[in-house]
Amino acid sequence: QKEVEQNSGPLSVPEGAIASLNCTYSDRVSQSFFWYRQYSGKSPELIMSIYSNGDKEDGRFTAQLNKASQYVSLLIRDSQPSDSATYLCAVNWDDRGSTLGRLYFGRGTQLTVWP
Amino acid sequence: DAGITQSPRHKVTETGTPVTLRCHQTENHRYMYWYRQDPGHGLRLIHYSYGVKDTDKGEVSDGYSVSRSKTEDFLLTLESATSSQTSVYFCAISPLPTGMDSNQPQHFGDGTRLSIL
């Protein structure tokens, strides 16, 4: 059973703070990890991808991957009210079999950034 | 934005009627996916396609069928809609399979909100 777990939140942080979003997954045979942002009533939008252990930074966003501990996180620095959205963690299991091309999503963490 | 158009954007129908949702892409991507999103469940894969006439089931495929006769179009059909199929349906595309050393992300359409009464 391939599972992706996220805290549903809501996570509430003040403007300018660091928001930390966490995601754990169930199987070590993993390859690709993605973070999507979804505003209410809108479609998921890709904001970060990470494939190797360590940190990957893109502007105010940093993704962190630890395959040994089976978790991936997203840090948002200098949080803005416009960052208020649901953040979805997605994992691809590269077992070169039935899961080819599939993404497994967590239920999402709702983030609110208050001014 | 990736050139993905879903139609219709909203639909209300009655239990037992057939429903077809369309996903049209202008990116010439080989891989197309149908997801449903429900509160408390997140996004779940219904069916996906890895080429014209090549499709496979996802995690929640019961009650759904798909067809892909052209690269640009992927149709999702509810043969006899039930209230449990009330959901928001998203189409996604990618040029290569996510994973398999390509690490290609999926990009999503705007969704179809389907209500079955």
Q: Could you tell me which residues of chain A have a Cβ less than 8 Å from any Cβ in chain B? A: 31-32, 34, 36, 42-46, 49, 51, 88, 90, 92-94, 96, 99-103, 105-108
CA distance B114 to chain A (A): 13
Residues 6+ apart with CB under 8 A from A83: A19, A37, A76, A111, A113
| Closest listed residue to residue A40, CA positions, set A105, A89, A86 | A86
Mutation for testing the B interface, residue in A29, A58, A103 having most B CBs under 10 Å: A103
pLDDT digits (tens, 9 = 90+) for B5-57: 999 999 999 999 999 999 999 999 999 999 999 988 889 999 999 899 999 99
pLDDT digits (tens, 9 = 90+) for A65-103: 999 899 999 999 999 999 999 999 999 876 666 556 788
Do A34 and A46 form a contact (C-beta atoms < 8 A)?
A: yes
**pLDDT the model gives residue B102:** 61
Mean pLDDT of chain B, nearest integer: 92
- From B41, B90, B100, residue closest to A107, measured CB to CB: B41
CA distance B74 to B97: 16
Lowest mean pLDDT among A22-31, A88-97, B28-37, B105-114: A88-97
Instruction: Return contacts of B66-71, CB within 8 angstroms, 24+ apart.
Output: B66/B34, B68/B32, B71/B28, B71/B29, B71/B30
Q: Which helix (H) or strand (E) holds A22?
A: strand A19-25
The phi-psi region of residue B40 (left if phi > 0; otherwise alpha if psi is between -120 and 50; otherwise beta) is left
Higher local confidence (pLDDT), B105 or B107:
B107
Subunit contact A31:B50, Cβ cutoff 8 A: no
- Percentage of residues in chain B having pLDDT higher than 70: 92
